[in-house]
Amino acid sequence: MSDKNGNVIVTSPAWEGRDSQIGASLAHLADKYLIQVVQSPIMQLELANDAIRRAVLRELAEWDEVRAGYTVTVVCSTPEAPDALEQFDELCIALRLRENRLKFAAIDQETAVSLSEVCHVKGISKVHYTSVMTPETPGSFRELTDLIAKWEEERELCLIFEPAESAGLIAKTLIGNGLRTIRMGFYKYRPIRMANLPPADNPTWWVIVNDAATVPEIARELKRQNTKFSNVRWISSRPSVGSALKKILPKSQFVEVPELRPDVILEKIKDHINPAL
């Protein structure tokens, strides 16, 4: 694979033995754009153990009658939540039984698209991604909770899909606002070491990041591999990633994109990447 136009490092979490969605899509375009794509997640995704998953299902059954009349809002608090839902068949079935009562919210536009796709594939709902509530600022918990509270209906129940080990900020905020909320932590992240970067003729590295919390660890891993930070450009749809970089690498080159989609990313950096058409 040519790296004539630079190298793209995809750090997004991935399930064991699989590339992340964005990683797979970028790899598909690699030859056309003469780039080298390096799949290098620093977190591996896993479903929580059976006991935790059973507890999640039990809590839903206790809090919600399948034929109740109020709305159930499914909230994906991370980009990985839709993928995790797809793996959790029993929860998909439970949601399918509530199809006519469901509303949806997601932390950003890409997560909304993934959620819509999973709902179609698993027969949960025919929801279109444009009907999924998303914050104007990608990744903003505050905007997302404000949005959900604004469109709250009587006796509404919110289901927050989030990592088992998370602090539960969205759930706590909604509970604080008086909304009936279940925190559903049915998946988790396991830290893994970033893959060793391959040799490259072109020393330009584009690092794709979708979570500000991972920035320090990615920077440590790049430093461990003696990567020159002057050759690294960080790319994300989340302003919080830029803020995190300013704290630890004030001279870093941060490129913000409106959405973390392959075509948007490659369009944004076309000054450096010229398609081989």
- Which tens digit of pLDDT belongs to each residue from 208-258? 999 999 999 999 999 999 999 999 999 999 999 999 999 999 999 999 999
User: Residue 271 pLDDT > 70, yes or no?
Assistant: no
Read off the pTM: 0.89
Domain with 29 in it: 7-42+195-268
Is residue 160 within 8 Å of 168, Cβ to Cβ?
Answer: yes
Q: What is the CATH number of the domain that holds 162?
A: 3.40.50.10090
Residue 234 lies in a domain: yes
Amino acid at 158: C
Give the mean model confidence (pLDDT) for residues 91-115.
Answer: 97
**Dihedral over alpha carbons 208, 212, 216, 221 (to 10 degrees):** -20
Residue 1 lies in a domain: no
- Residue 174 has what pLDDT? 95
What strand order describes the sheet that includes 36-39? 36-39, 7-10, 205-208, 232-236, 253-256
Give the mean model confidence (pLDDT) for residues 62-69.
Answer: 95
Indicate whether 69 and 179 sit together in one domain. yes
- Residue 32 has what pLDDT? 85
**CA–CA separation, 83 vs 8, rounded Å?**
23
Indicate whether 177 and 201 sit together in one domain. no
User: Residue 14 pLDDT > 70, yes or no?
Assistant: yes
Residue 155 lies in a domain: yes
The per-residue pLDDT of the chain, averaged, comes to: 93
User: Residue 5 pLDDT > 90, yes or no?
Assistant: no
Q: For residue 16, how far is the Cα from the chain centroid?
A: 16
Residue 181 lies in a domain: yes
- pLDDT tier for residue 31 given thresholds of 50, 70 and 90: confident
Indicate whether 130 and 258 sit together in one domain. no
Residue 81 lies in a domain: yes
Indicate whether 79 and 178 sit together in one domain. yes
Residue ending a domain, among 174, 190, 206, is 190
User: Residue 60 pLDDT > 60, yes or no?
Assistant: yes
- pLDDT tier for residue 39 given thresholds of 50, 70 and 90: very high
- pLDDT tier for residue 277 given thresholds of 50, 70 and 90: very low
- Residue 38 has what pLDDT? 94
Residue ending a domain, among 153, 171, 190, is 190
Indicate whether 66 and 167 sit together in one domain. yes
Widest distance between CA atoms in the chain: 62
User: Residue 203 pLDDT > 60, yes or no?
Assistant: yes
Residue ending a domain, among 164, 190, 216, is 190
Give the mean model confidence (pLDDT) for residues 155-162.
Answer: 96
**CA–CA separation, 120 vs 127, rounded Å?**
8
Residue 276 lies in a domain: no
Residue with structure tokens 């690294």? 232
Residue 185 lies in a domain: yes
Total structural domains within the chain = 2
Residue 89 token pair:
């068949």
